Amino acid sequence: MKRLWRSISYNGVANIEDPVELQSLVITNRTSFLALILVILVGLFLGFRQWNAEPIYVISFSVLFAAILGLVRMQYFSTARLLLCLIVPVIVVGMSVISKKIPGEEITESEFFDYRFVLIATSIVPPLIFGYSRFVLLGACLLVYLLAFILFDPIHNYFNVGYYQIEHVLPSYQMSQWISTIMFCTLTAGVLVLRKTTDEIQRKNTRLIKSMHESNALLEERTKELEKAHQRIQHQNEELNKVNSRLTEKVNLANSDLAKTNDELVKHNSELQQYSYIVSHNLRSPVASLLGLVNLVKHEELIWNHPVFEHIRKASKSLDDTVSDLGMIVDVRNDIYKIRQFVNVNELLTEVITPFQKEIQEFNIEFSYDIQCEELYTIKPMLTSIVYNLLSNSIKYRSKDRVPHIHIRTAEVDGNFQMVVKDNGIGLNVEANKQNIFKLYKRFNTHTQGKGIGLYLVNLQVNSLGGSIDVCGEVDVYTEFIVTLPPADSVQHQSIWEETYAEIFFDAHLSLIGLNWKSAVTSEELRGTLQRSAECMREYNATHWLMDIRDRGNISDEDQLWLLDSFLPTIFKLGLKRLALVYQDELHPDTLRFYKKNSEVLEKYDIQIFFTRSAQEAYKWLQKQKFVLSTK
């Protein structure tokens, strides 16, 4: 049944693409088929009641609806729809007249109303099968329906079967004519609005469906492209894996060769460093001996050529200076100086200038200062050497035409410490010599003595401190060196010496030497480590000392007496002010005895000792004591 109904619905319209047009034609097929069945059933029903001309006429109308289905099948779409819309009002009005012309039939008043109701009911057919795209045909069909309503009574009167001609006398009959016409217009308008809305929705749906199909098609195309791309990527990944495997093999082989080369370089470098150390340090002793022997010889006692001996003496002195300079360079390159400590710029300048007092007085050298940055943390021996060599350079290359003047300025620039040393000496052509200024054994003036190592050493030390040095100048006007040093990274815990049983470190902020015992020690290890820490205290002018003995273990009574009676008095003489001792369980009785025995001496020299079981507490106490000492 469904297949039959679908076959009838899409009779002749299978190739229609416009959804609105397709819907109209489907409605035409279905309406024609239903009308065909309906008129046959009505005709049979009338025939069973009374067989006369009326059922014959009714059944004959089925031929018209069958013809409409045939026209649609032959794709005469407009003709079929126009015929359907026109024959319905014609058949209704015609049957109304015919039914009243049959002899012997009683004509009731309701028959005049029933056919009007049929006209009103079938007036929705034109809007259903014609859309707004067929506006002319739609208008023609609706006009026929309108004429059917208006001319309903005139046509009946023409055939002498009018309402009043049959002597019906209902007063409101005339009013029903207008009511039915108004109902027709209202129903038709509503159906037209509904059809317009439906067509718009249908078209929107069609566009959406079309867009969806296009999107799906595009998505399928993209999916296929992605699949192809995925296949290409898989293939490329396989190729890359093969290449990576080959590269990995090559890299492993290269790394193996590089490791061997690196081991050889480390070995050669170690040998070179050892050789440099031997040359710079081990040669100093025989050179010094040779120089001493030369100085012991009296010229008047020589029985051979005096000038030759003088050349021997000068050569020995030159060799000694060269070995000394080489030793200093090796020490810098081997990072023998690595501990950062607090430096007061004014005190350092006083310390550096003191050795030049003879030259300052002899040549009336003037100094001026602009010390804006007075303090920094750095490797003091290196900074001392840098300033010493720069001042030595300024004094050595002074001008004889004017009073020598050296200006020293310090400041903080972008978080860095900057020192400028400027003199009014013979000057320097920087542009002509900038490639060689800081090279070893390079000299730019032969009128003064020099070895060409000072500026090389300055540059080496500045670079070792992570800084930079710039120079500018003008011949016979001035020379200016600008040294820039970055702030020290960490100055709290700087390891000086470390073994498996102990570590000595320096804290520049607290001016503190720390000694951490890691395990039990022998008497020799105990005394050697303590003496080394005393040397570090002297070297770095430390005023605080922290000793953590929690992991040291017990020591002999002899070592305890040596520590208290010999070692501690020694470090007190070195300037120690505060001692923090971190212990585990109980203090040795001799420690308490020493503290009580020397309490007056300790108080006289403002020396305090703090005992605690916590390293954090020791640090807090030392920080507080540092503040107290700084305010005195």
**Radius of gyration from C-alpha coordinates of the chain:** 60
Distance CA(285)–CA(273), nearest Å, equals: 19
pLDDT value at residue 554: 81
- Calpha distance 516→499 (Å, rounded): 10
Q: CA 340 to CA 381: how far, in whole Å?
A: 10
- Phi/psi of residue 204, each to 5°? -60, -45
CATH of domain 494-631: 3.30.750.24
**Neighbour tally for 228: CB within 10 Å:** 10
Q: Is the separation of the CB atoms in 38 and 54 below 8 Å? A: no
Give CA–CA dist 426/446, Å, rounded: 12
The CATH number of 341-485 is 3.30.565.10
Residue 433, Cα to own-chain centre: how many angstroms? 46
The pLDDT value recorded for residue 418 is 95
- Output the pLDDT for position 481: 92
Listed residue (41, 145, 153, 55) closest to 105, CA to CA:
55
Closest CA to 563 of 579, 539, 586: 579
Residues of the chain with pLDDT under 70: 49, 53-54, 103-106, 131-133, 167-169, 171-172, 263-337, 432, 436, 440-452, 587-588, 590-601, 604-605, 626-632
Q: Return d(Cα 490, Cα 339) in angstroms, integer.
A: 10
CA angle 538, 543, 547 (to 5 degrees): 90
Rounded CA gap, 531 and 533, in Å? Answer: 5
pLDDT at 14: 73
Q: Any residues with CB less than 8 A from the CB of 392 and at least 6 apart, and which?
A: 356, 454
Residues 529, 521: contact at Cβ < 8 Å? yes
Angle subtended at Cα 189 by Cα 184 and Cα 195, rounded to the nearest 5 degrees: 125
Tell how strand 502-507 and strand 494-498 pair up.
Answer: antiparallel
